[in-house]
Amino acid sequence: MSDGVEWGVHVCVLLAGLPEDAALPAGKLAEYHGVPAAYLAKHLQALAGAGVLQTVKGARGGYRLARPAAQITVLDVVEAIDGDESAFRCGEIRRRGPMAMPAREYTKPCGIHQAFMRADEAWRSELALSTIADLLVGVLSDVPRPTLEKGARWLQESAR
Amino acid sequence: MSDGVEWGVHVCVLLAGLPEDAALPAGKLAEYHGVPAAYLAKHLQALAGAGVLQTVKGARGGYRLARPAAQITVLDVVEAIDGDESAFRCGEIRRRGPMAMPAREYTKPCGIHQAFMRADEAWRSELALSTIADLLVGVLSDVPRPTLEKGARWLQESAR
């Protein structure tokens, strides 16, 4: 999994805390998270392309969530950034060696591939249970008040 | 996930089909699966180190399963080869930027990290449900009889 996934989820949680209609420019999102702006920009574009974020044009422009935080899951962010391919790469090695058969005989994935597909589904189902709104609630309850206030001041100065 | 995981599971399923007390040398396992012997050797050693495979010394030596196939799960193979680290790498980026706090304040993983830990557990739990014995049963029922017979002849000639 790419680093971009962690960054992308953090970005969404931060944007979920913005007042409605406010947006944050890419540079500010990179500054807030202390990550390289050029790399983050690539992931922000992927999130916008997938309909998770929305770009707002103009002097007060930047990024904001494309829909309510309760309707964006962690899985949405993962798939926007890393795609929906399983971590298991099936090399179809069953087709090699002395038990190899003509290609037409392989009509379904082998049991090994199927076991990893089921595991991948379990992984995705679990990530589909966490929404950005849930994560924001967690931050608000876990982070000490003075730190939250510092963050809120920074947001107020930075949001457009 | 490394290619070695796919190879390792295939190796275990093949070894599960050997007569009791027979073993296959590393070179034969590489030949059977059509994979580079040097890379496979590394993974076979990892599987032996984790107690999934057993090495048999001597002229009739090689690798065999260290315990009954019904007691080896796909997860055992994954963890022997790729370890038990989650695919999600937490860079703790919450500790950067304007809301950063002193290190002592971070007493538990953030909600994002926790969501990925839960997903990782779901992935591993699913892989722990499939045993090498289950996979062998699948191969025996899916693969056409003539191919199985070809494989059995190869095994008979190659096993020690």
ipTM computed for the complex? 0.91
* B65 or A89: which leads in pLDDT: B65
pLDDT of amino acid B160? 61
Q: Would the pLDDT of B56 be above 90? A: yes
Contacts of A34 in chain B (CB under 8 A): 93, 96-97
Q: How far apart are CA B83 and CA B143, in angstroms?
A: 31
Contacts of A88 in chain B (CB under 8 A): 1, 5-6
Closest CA–CA distance from residue B16 to any residue of chain A (Å): 14
pLDDT of amino acid B2? 82
Q: Quickly state the pLDDT bin for A27 (edges 50, 70, 90).
A: very high
Nearest residue in B to A148, CA atom: B99
pTM value? 0.91
What does the pLDDT average to over B150-159? Answer: 88
Give me the amino acid identity at A135: L
pLDDT of amino acid A19? 87
Residue ranges of the domains in chain A?
A: 3-85+131-158
Q: Do A34 and B91 touch (CB under 8 A)?
A: no
Q: Would the pLDDT of A138 be above 90? A: yes
Mean pLDDT of chain A: 93
Q: Quickly state the pLDDT bin for A98 (edges 50, 70, 90).
A: confident
What does the pLDDT average to over B89-112? Answer: 89
pLDDT of amino acid A99? 84
Q: Do A91 and B6 touch (CB under 8 A)?
A: yes
pLDDT of amino acid A160? 61
Q: Would the pLDDT of A156 be above 90? A: no
CB contact A31 to B (< 8 Å): yes
User: In this prediction, what percent of chain A has a pLDDT beyond 90?
Assistant: 71
Contacts of B139 in chain A (CB under 8 A): 110-111
CB contact A145 to B (< 8 Å): no
Q: Do A138 and B74 touch (CB under 8 A)?
A: no
Instruction: Convert chain A into a string of H (helix), E (strand) and C (coil).
Output: CCHHHHHHHHHHHHHHCCCCCCCECHHHHHHHHCCCHHHHHHHHHHHHHCCCEEEECCCCCEEEECCCHHHCEHHHHHHHHHCCCCCCCCCCHHHCCCCCCCHHHCCCCCHHHHHHHHHHHHHHHHHCCCEHHHHHHHHHHHCCHHHHHHHHHHHHHHCC
Mean pLDDT of chain B: 93
Q: Return the CATH architecture of domain A3-85+131-158.
A: Orthogonal Bundle (1.10)
What does the pLDDT average to over A87-104? Answer: 87
CB contact B65 to A (< 8 Å): no
User: Is residue A95 classed exposed, middle or buried when 0-12, 13-18 and 19+ CB atoms within 10 A define those classes?
Assistant: middle
Q: Would the pLDDT of B123 be above 90? A: yes
User: Is residue B156 classed exposed, middle or buried when 0-12, 13-18 and 19+ CB atoms within 10 A define those classes?
Assistant: exposed
